[in-house]
Amino acid sequence: MKLIRVSTSETVPLEDGFLWADEFEWNRIEQNIKPAIDGTPIIQEGKWKSGRPITLTADKNMAWLKRHIVSKLKDFSLLQGENFTLAFEYPHDQRQFNVKFHHAANAIEARPVKDHPTVSEDDYYNVTLRFIEVGELYSGY
């Protein structure tokens, strides 16, 4: 898995052990249901064009990122107005998503794996990354 800054093609590799925690929780169809005077439901439906949350979580024993990678991701997240491509690189899953960091949901959480101050840029962190899809690069869902 990797995150690519669209404007510069700069890439940050992400460990393969991340879990897309909310992959099947978002519903692309939005409904508004109100009763008519006689109690019959009036149903309005619409389809979201984008806005899907993508939350990548790490298990306590896998998908750790080194401090210098976390720092780069934090720098990326502070680039206002930038778009990124989140690219899966699994043999069974080559999807790509056009995303932004989801700041309203706390875009990056990072905690040292050893629960003490880091002493090296190579120390590992347990990380949660939150993105929001802003357009379709892949339409297979």
Cα–Cα distance measured from residue 27 to residue 24, given in angstroms and rounded to the nearest whole number: 8
Q: What is the pLDDT of residues 35-77, one digit of tens each?
A: 999 999 999 999 988 899 999 998 777 789 999 999 999 999 9
In the predicted model, what is the mean pLDDT of residues 5-14?
95
Question: pLDDT by residue (tens digit) across 62-115?
Answer: 789 999 999 999 999 999 989 999 999 988 989 999 999 999 999 999 999 887
CA angle 64, 109, 113 (to 5 degrees): 35
Is residue 141 over pLDDT 50? no
User: Structure pTM?
Assistant: 0.84
Measure CA of the first residue to CA of the last residue in the chain; give whole Å.
19
